[in-house]
Structure 1
Amino acid sequence: MESMISIGVISTHSDLTSMCRQLGDMLGYKLLVYEGALDTSLPGLQHFETKGVEVVVTTRGNNLFVKDHTKIPVITVPENKFDYFAPLARAAKKYGPKVTAFFYREQPNGFAEIIEILGFEPNIKVFQDTSHLESLLERLQGSDQVIVGGGYVCQTASVLGFMTEQFNLSKESVVTALETAKELAMVRRRERQKSFRLKAILDWAHEGIVATDENGMITLFNKAAEKIFGLKPSEVLGRDSRKALPDAELYEVIKNGEASTGQIIRIGNAAVAANRVPIVNDNQISGLVATFQPVKAIQEIEEKIRRELIPEKGNRYNFNDIKGHTRAIRATVELAIKYSDTNESVLILGQSGTGKELFAQSIHGASKRKSKPFMAINCAAIPGNLLESELFGYSEGAFTGARKGGKPGLFELAHGGSLFLDEIGDMPTDIQAKLLRVIQEKEVRRVGGEKLVRVDVRIIAATHQNLLELVTAGKFREDLFYRLDVLRLNIPPLAERKEDIPLLATGILDRVSDITAKQRKAIVGSLFIRSNYNWPGNVRELENIVRRLAVLTHGLSEPEARGVARQAIHRFLGGNVRYLPQNNTHLTLHLPVDQQMKQLVAKAEKEIIQQMVLLCGGDRRQAARKLGIGRTTLWRKCAEETENETLESETGFKDIF
């Protein structure tokens, strides 16, 4: 709960003191009232500062003095002309026109109008301090003058024997001043809270943040900047950036008016990434804000992101990511699911772009090893000498440039999990021999080392080559082939499952950002085709074409997008294309006979939704309307994944060996 606002009042006489205390009780304000004027108000101001008073209220005559002697904001009680007119008129009526009015430092505005109403012109005296007031009063002694002024003036004049009339403030004026003081305090509290929040945000930022005004004077310097530059805020704030932070080159950006981002500069011995942007207000440069981050910190963050976003444990894909309704792909998936239950080596055969790693990760993800690492390496992408150290690791001093302490290889890193050896047919024969020993003995020796490390790793290998032909040609070890070829999985090329193209395209478009429903419908609809094109690049080539169509149809209406997509398809596939009708009146379901009702219903629902989405050209809203279900329900069901889904096989296994 927010505490009450504390208001201090410097009262110049007892009547005002009593009024303020009564008003404080009536309004429910927390008031501290101190009676004093000019020099005699100083103890009260000191007391206010120790008590945390947020705003001070005082009279006009005392206002300038109080402002000069405190940092607390000061509100002046507003005075009206009647507050001056009444005591002057009373003085003239009681004692005659010999009246002298005293004011501190300056005469109030509009006093000439009061003189006109009075019908006589009183003497006006303006004093600068208490000694000056006393001096002026002493000169008037014996002149029969009546003194009119504030509480302190009248008290001092009375002591010297003068007749006095006091300027009195109305209750309404005091209430107005107190309410203004409260509003000001509340505004200052809100601004202070904003300032504290901003400071906390800036100080918790990992980047160094520096700001300047239009002259290059430093106005902001957060904690991260302190560490980067090795300077305290007191050493830079309010100073010229050219002198305080010469390496930061801030003033040049203000001078040129052009932002400088992503530049690498040197601060001391450290390389730092700097972003410096001018602050423009009404087409005028009013300052600059700059951020600084050590390059080393950026590299550490990048390494951490790579570790977390590209997981070494588990896998990114599962069997639900393998799209297709054709018998060939469904039988392949079912066989792969059966392979997941074992620890035997798997050899995946298939053309480039058919998704061999997708199957490898899915097998791992459905196995008992799914919570352990899945490591992958492309044997064709790395030279032989480097491939050996990547697979088996190396010891310290094994070769020039070897890391201190050595480095574990993929076998050690994949311990307990799976190791995917892509393009195994391109592995040099000398490394094949070492690989065979590791598979047989389940232990690995690092390059240049002597220690044997036990490893438990399941091997999943893949190739687009005919390994038996390589064995015959002496390019692949026969004993290694039989170690790898315990379980074989043939991935059908896209040419053998062209009916899956629309469904595959839908999945690809799900990964494309900024794709509209109109584009999706036009693109997927343009792929309901019959063509003798054999898709040499397989699914990878299809993804290339689909992404290209997404770019070509961007911003077009559905009819325009459909026309552009069809023209592009003719051009990509050589023109021999015939479009298939999308107005089917029946859905064809393929359900296994060896499952219970609950499983059959779930599979039927999934196939109905997938086929309806395809028939609607990928337009999920239209599919939801046709099925009579909510759009949210359809999206949820499309996103649901069943890890251990068993797909039907209608062809047996003979077609994939």
Structure 2
Amino acid sequence: MENREHLKEKKIAIITSDLQGSEAVRQVLHTMHITCPVIYSGLGALPSTAKEQVRRGAGVIIAFGMFAKIVRQNVDVPVIMVDICPEDVLDGILKAAELGQRIAIVGFRKVLHDVFRIRSLLNVELLDIPTVMPEELPEVIAGLKKDDVLVGGYYQADLARQYGISCVVLKPRYEEIRKAISMACSYLEGQDSTQTAEPFNAAESSVYASITVDRFGSIIMMNRLASEYLGVSQLTAVSFSMEDVCPQFTRVKDVIANHRSYMNQITKIDEKTFLYHAEPVVNGEELQGVTVTFQDVNTVLRAEASIRRKLTVPSNQAQYSLDQIFGRSASMTQVLRLALKYASVEETVLILGETGVGKELFAQGIHQASARKKGPFVAINCASLPESILESELFGYVKGAFTGADRDGKRGLFEQAHTGTIFLDEIGEIPMGIQGKLLRVLQERTIRRVGGEKSTPVDIRVIAATNRDLVCMVKEGNFRSDLYFRINVLGLKIPPLRERRDDIVPLAEEFLAEASVRNHRVYYFSEEAEDLLREYSWPGNIRELQNMVRRLTVISDEEEIGGGLIRDYIAENRRLTEPEEDSGGACHQNSRKEKSCPADILDSRTSYTLEEALAAAGNNRKKAAELMGVSRATFYRMLEREAAAGKNIGVTEP
């Protein structure tokens, strides 16, 4: 039971329009152990009654239905409305249908939106009377027919009786009265009071502007900062709807319609750009209203810069979690669900996917969702280093292991990942000589540093990733089959962007919102641009999409990103999406016929040998690598193998 005896001196005033309503309020106050004045007032005296309560110190006023709207226009304190539940309005209509065939309803338009759509099914005639001011009601009701039935509140019912019109009275539920009182108490206390009242407490803040509206979009509360940003009086704002005060917050309507949150939205008010969040306020499954919090983007950017300076993310630490990975399509939802399952176990994971699909994000997310999340996350791109350097980076080395080695030796990445996770990106590029050592680590969970004899146990979880066809590489003899089966315990294939087209535009809009904050402009795509985004195949996947959005927001002269800019981009990159002639190789990764086997086996499948390529390129490494269709890193490893075999191949620096 609530005990709010301490609120006796708090100034809450409750104004009712009839004696029955007054009695209902007193019963609720009694159960809540709250004492406050309950004033009965007729329509004519309502403005002066409300003003008198404010003069006596009322900090918030509670009123019923349309009376609350009148009070809001006459006082400068928050006014909370006790409203009728939609279910009660529908019940009232059904009861009225038993009394007559034509039912008149005054107001409740927002509540009755769905009812009027099915009026033909009710077998009655619904007379929708537009909302009018109370002083106009006598004339409206006098115009009804004697056999009409009116559905309305206490005030409408009294008038109906005067004119001999049957009426079904809609009475606010006790829980609605309790809710309004709880909201008033929470406002006066300046802190959370009950679960229902909590979201409606628009706390003062020097950083966040805040507005709360009810389920019809009428403003309930506004804090000081919001008042300053919008140029609207904080106390009189409750006389208006959100649409009247700041229609730029377009997502408020969406929240009311579908009861979901809209975070990190961008809008412009006058010359300022704001970042805002619109979130539903619910009690159980019932929508109570919407809370909008917003900030000047300059404040957001300053805060971000400060955080980056003070909390620089150290190396060997994951930054992303699975819930930060965007994916609404069925295929991505399935992959995310599978990744979450993998996070709960310790087995090795092999992530497959094209370049740019976000393999490392998944690796970090699995680590963050696992029991090892407090341990290190160590990542290395195995294709970025020559074999000799890669070995020392992975396993470390002892003092004096080789010329130029640190005199104290060095811990390798496996040791650094102890109690955590090591992510081996592009594992298909690991040379055969290191594959055997890696296999031993996975089998024995021990490592031996380069030049050392001592084995050191390591407690690690391994996640590997590749965009290569490892099965093809095993068949070609360029990837150990025992290593393949050791790393491919739990497979996770990330679909390319062209196979999850439902995600393309939402992802692009996320990147566009980031660019809007960064550039202080509100960018958006035209419908034609969205269609072109969906049609393009995105060979570079999400990385390409993000980089394209960044480019377009720089070169666009308008806030609308039109189809012309998208077409120019697609035309520029058309060669990447056009099929290449099949060279006769055994392995292709996908329908775009990318070379799927590792580049360092291509010397056996191209028209050039290593010596021939160097000769044709005039001993220039870069040109020779291009002739052979391999990366420079792979080309260097090929040279190292030739040197190890005793061949002396002269080259010049590119």
Query: What TM-score do the two structures reach when normalised by structure 2?
Result: 0.39
Larger Rg belongs to = 1
